[in-house]
Structure 1
Amino acid sequence: MNTRMHLFQRYGIELEYMIVDIDTLAIRPITDDLIKSVLGEYSNEVDRGLVTWSNELVLHVLELKCSKPEADLVALTEGFKENIKDINQKLLAYNAKLMPSAAHPLMNPEKETFLWPHDNNEIYDIYNRIFNCKGHGWSNLQSTHLNLPFYDDEEFARLHAAIRLILPILPGIAASSPILDGQPTGYLDKRLDYYQSNQKVIPEITGKVIPERAFSKRHYHKMIYDPIQLAVAPFDDEHILEPVWLNSRGAIARFDRGSIEIRLLDIQECPKADMAIVALIIGILKVLTAEKVSSFHDQQSWTAAALNRMFQQMIVTAENTVITNSDYLKVFGLDKEQMTAKELWGHLLELVKVHHPIFIGPWLDVLHEILEAGTLATRIMTALDGIYTEENIKLVYNELTDCLSNNEIFESCVKEKL
């Protein structure tokens, strides 16, 4: 039976959270113990119906993902919310809880990194040997992954062209990693700065973050997978590592599954926020692939280098970035010399409201709130108000854990407490 899906038929969503101490917010490397408490044995995942819990590279991170691709984002949001409540209830036995955002603000990765020691650990061991997985770039970054289906080369080409175009501006709505080691990093999206450099030993793995102009399976293998295979060979005598796993561009094509995974989204404070952003991304990809504002030919023409230049600005200043490339703005139907990323995202939301009003309807209130108040990174910095003491940082990030528990937007939580 052919199980491949067509464009926008269903979606796969993955959310990564940290496990921290209830009192101190210190990292708690107990994902394996949590899973064992449910299954009675160590395993790399727990199937809870709509949502599956899964391990990650490091022991303090737990991934929640839809067990199979889903069409109903509203129901999936509810599923994530209920599973987070369930997990937090079970973590009480360890005096622990889940914490959102893309980076722990106080973690010392040299001392607090513990790699997953159970099944599949031989792969993690090789990664650790090659890349030294103890830095922030390996053990202290949490993201949201969005998987989108394609049926054949024609659908892949349309989807890949559209995704490449929006990758540089994703930090402009999703950045949530402004603080590391108890200090501002100078980036609103420091996670993505680490993301692009943590495998620099083998630069072919990440490339320019924005994928190359590959619009067929054959071209993708030739331009991306084959160079990775050649580059990694000297480091992998046992031939365990596969290019398909190693590829770390901001969007990754999986031809075996017929899907592209977007990996440049910092995780937000609660599923409601993540899923609203995901819905907006899906909506604008629908607009682009249908050629409502620009032709397929124009979308394909953008080089990775040109898109990467915008990306480099965006990870620093996120929604405040001024986009001065008028040709880029034209791709989204805008005749302007320049525009901030925040203004561009506002325009993209209006486009989706026009072309897919029913689809985006459930998410409008949340999206308007995010666009008005700024990225989570900006809201974190505003809440810290220039005071980077451990006490103040813990105060703000405790608020974030409350938002996660209650599925509330961070700004709303702050307002309620004032």
Structure 2
Amino acid sequence: MEAAAAEGTTTIDPQLAARAERRDLLTLGIEEEYLLVDTVEPHGVETADAVLAEAPEELKGSVQHEYLRSQIEVASPPQLELSGLQRAMTTLRSGLADAAERAGSRLLAVGCGPAAGPDARLVDKPRYHEMRKRFGDLSPGQGLCGTHVHVSIPDEETGIRVLNHLRPWLPVLQAATANSPLFDGQDTGYASWRSMLWERWPTVGPTPYLLSYDHYSTLIEDLETSGAMLDEGMLYWYARLSARYPTVEIRMGDVTPTLDDAMLLAALTRGLVATLLNEVRDGVEAPDVPYPLLMAAHWRAAKDGLEGLGLDIASRRPRPAWDLLRQLVDYVRPELDRHGDAELVTVLFERLRARGTGAARQRALLERGIPVTGVVDWLARTTRGENLG
């Protein structure tokens, strides 16, 4: 869900921006949404206000409410080095997990509520009440939690062309983040059930093929006029331009259970944007992939995650999803090298390959006879950074 941007997300230090420009590198930042659950029962609890009050003072500029009272969101400061992003997010996750426990709850990095429980109420903000009034109850349960990655771009027109080039690759990244197979205590048959629930909002979906920044702006105005969104903050395309800062925002993924997975997503996203910027500068036109084919690819990603098939947009044929992710890593490797991320990405990729996605790891627990309450315990411990294999 879209909340007001946390100050730490995109407030770029001028010295950092200058350093990035001198080295022709891209900055990146990440936002993560979390579910708050009871310390005994596995369902969501409305402790967001109490968690915010308990958060350490130095973190409060990077922590904020989300749509429901059982959710909370963090946003990293922009970073140039992936190691800096990892340190910032480690501090945010562990500090917020501690605050949640002081507030009588637990912090879960999971796409939607795994266990049955009462639907959470809205955070008491006029914007959210207006959203509920206009759109009804499109976010059932205890909350939908995603990951958003911001990567810097030189200007808006270039950003539009990057958005066009991104379209075929985003289902692969979505599959890598799949982390919501359970909902209301049941296995949904999907690796990312959050994706299916999220698609009920009228502006959620793949980014359309855009002709220019003027075209992008006109579409936003038309969507507002139509009533399909209140304002630009409700533009829920899987990739978009930031409304306030010089970044593209990639936002189709579940929040991942471990920071390893989140850092892999962030590094691959930056590598991909940097690779596509080179294509834009070289005058390479983005393929105008038919919108229904993109919808099919995103559905496939939500259904199987990385453990089944993905849709190869180029051949229009299903392929093992792991092969598509490896193809993406190979494609962006020169930019991973240039940004200093290649070695860590190799380690994180192999770690993900060995462990599986969050969805696969949750299902593995169930197959061992561990109940949903045990899955929630595992998620809480993994979210705070305990090494659980």
TM-score bracket relative to the smaller structure? 0.7 to 0.9
Q: 2:43 corresponds to which letter in structure 1?
A: A
Instruction: Look up the match of 1:93.
Output: 102
Native 8 Å contact 1:13 1:65 kept in 2: yes
Provide the rounded CA distance (Å) in 2 between the counterparts of 1:129 and 1:375. Answer: 36
Provide the rounded CA distance (Å) in 1 between the counterparts of 2:193 and 2:25. Answer: 30
Structure 2 residue 216 is the aligned partner of structure 1 residue 229: no
Instruction: Look up the match of 2:303.
Output: 316
Backbone CA RMSD of aligned residues: 3.0
CA drift at 1:287: 2.5
Q: 1:31 corresponds to which letter in structure 2?
A: A
1:173-212 mapped onto 2 (5 Å cutoff): 173-197=176-200, 199=201, 203=202, 205-206=203-204, 209-212=205-208
SS at match of 1:144: strand
Instruction: Look up the match of 1:43.
Output: none
Native 8 Å contact 1:283 1:360 kept in 2: no
Deviation readout 1:245-282 (Å, 9 max, x if unpaired):
12111112235423221111111112232112221222
CA drift at 1:63: 0.8
- Residues 93 and 309 of structure 1: CA distance in aligned 2, closer, same or farther (over 3 Å): closer
- Structure 2's unaligned 5+ residue stretches are 1-11
- The structure with the larger Rg is 1
Identify the match of residue 125 of structure 1 among 126, 129, 132: 129
Provide the rounded CA distance (Å) in 1 between the counterparts of 2:274 and 2:265. Answer: 14
Identify the match of residue 382 of structure 2 among 396, 403, 407: 403
- Structure 1's unaligned 5+ residue stretches are 40-45, 236-240, 330-336
Native 8 Å contact 2:175 2:321 kept in 1: yes
SS at match of 2:169: helix
Provide the rounded CA distance (Å) in 1 between the counterparts of 2:313 and 2:248. Answer: 28
Native 8 Å contact 2:207 2:238 kept in 1: yes
Identify the match of residue 380 of structure 1 among 350, 362, 384: 362
Instruction: Look up the match of 1:115.
Output: 122
SS at match of 1:98: strand
- Residues 168 and 305 of structure 1: CA distance in aligned 2, closer, same or farther (over 3 Å): same
- Residues 72 and 157 of structure 1: CA distance in aligned 2, closer, same or farther (over 3 Å): same
Native 8 Å contact 1:10 1:149 kept in 2: yes
CA drift at 1:377: 0.7
Provide the rounded CA distance (Å) in 2 between the counterparts of 1:19 and 1:381. Answer: 21
CA drift at 1:378: 1.5
- Residues 129 and 2 of structure 1: CA distance in aligned 2, closer, same or farther (over 3 Å): same
Identify the match of residue 344 of structure 1 among 301, 310, 324: 324
CA drift at 1:323: 4.5
Instruction: Look up the match of 2:79.
Output: 70
TM-score in terms of structure 2 length: 0.85
Provide the rounded CA distance (Å) in 2 between the counterparts of 1:8 and 1:328. Answer: 32
SS at match of 1:187: coil
4+ residue stretches of structure 1 with deviation over 4 A?
1-8, 323-326
Instruction: Look up the match of 1:33.
Output: 50
- Residues 47 and 392 of structure 1: CA distance in aligned 2, closer, same or farther (over 3 Å): same
- Residues 88 and 304 of structure 1: CA distance in aligned 2, closer, same or farther (over 3 Å): same
Deviation readout 1:357-380 (Å, 9 max, x if unpaired):
332222322221112332211221
CA drift at 1:193: 0.8
Structure 2 residue 377 is the aligned partner of structure 1 residue 392: no
SS at match of 2:167: helix
- Residues 69 and 216 of structure 1: CA distance in aligned 2, closer, same or farther (over 3 Å): farther
1:264-275 mapped onto 2 (5 Å cutoff): 264-275=252-263
Instruction: Look up the match of 2:4.
Output: none
- Residues 248 and 47 of structure 1: CA distance in aligned 2, closer, same or farther (over 3 Å): farther
Provide the rounded CA distance (Å) in 2 between the counterparts of 1:139 and 1:26. Answer: 8
Deviation readout 1:113-153 (Å, 9 max, x if unpaired):
12112xxx1101111112234743x7421111111222224
- Residues 350 and 177 of structure 1: CA distance in aligned 2, closer, same or farther (over 3 Å): same
Instruction: Look up the match of 1:54.
Output: 64
1:148-163 mapped onto 2 (5 Å cutoff): 148-163=151-166
- Residues 338 and 55 of structure 1: CA distance in aligned 2, closer, same or farther (over 3 Å): closer
Native 8 Å contact 1:167 1:264 kept in 2: yes
